[in-house]
Amino acid sequence: MTVAPRAATAALLQVDSILAHLSGRPALSEVCRFLHESFRHYRWVGVYRRDGTTLVLEAWVGPAATEHTRIPIDEGVCGLAAREDRTVVVDDVRAEPAYLACFLDTRAEIVVPIRDNGAVVGEIDIDANEVQAFNASDRALLEKVAVKLAPSVLRAAGEPAPPM
């Protein structure tokens, strides 16, 4: 699937609008909802915040909750993205030994670091039900969204923990 340039531009404007009205965890939740509803191949969308050597799930939207609400950065694809400070695209999670299984129907994953002053403070994690669901257009869009989310991720750190 691809994210058309026009759709990417509209999505970024919508994210700007959300962030102009919300901050912290409510902003993260609304951005997750927006991405999930706007791009049908984004079956599960979550934002994790880095807390030392652990990734903590701050917001998510999808058909079901994940058991992975806290992920050590030395585990899984999410941990890899945080450790190596790079976007990780897994075309087929069944062929990826580092993948932490959440849902039986997940086939692809993209994880994009969220940075503040060059340090990874969180990440966007998206699952899809199709092999090779993510391409360069998804990566470009999500890397731009990640830049916009840093202040809300930092603010979420000071808010009470979400019920999971």
- DSSP for 9-48 reads HHHHHHHHHHHHH--HHHHHHHHHHHHHHH-TT--EEEEE
Question: CA–CA separation, 60 vs 124, rounded Å?
Answer: 10
Give domain status of residue 119, yes or no: yes
CATH code, domain carrying 61: 3.30.450.40
Q: What is the pLDDT of residue 163?
A: 60
Q: What is the DSSP letter of 82?
A: H
Give domain status of residue 164, yes or no: no
HEC string of 121-150 equals EEEEEEEECCCCCCCHHHHHHHHHHHHHHH
Domain range for residue 34? 5-156
Residue 151's identity, in one-letter code, is P
The pLDDT of 106-134, averaged and rounded, is: 96
Give domain status of residue 122, yes or no: yes
Give domain status of residue 21, yes or no: yes
- The domain total for the chain is 1
Say yes or no to pLDDT of 164 above 60.
no
SS3 155: helix
Q: What is the pTM of this model?
A: 0.93
The pLDDT of 16-35, averaged and rounded, is: 97
The alpha-carbon radius of gyration of the chain (Å, integer) is: 14
Give domain status of residue 162, yes or no: no
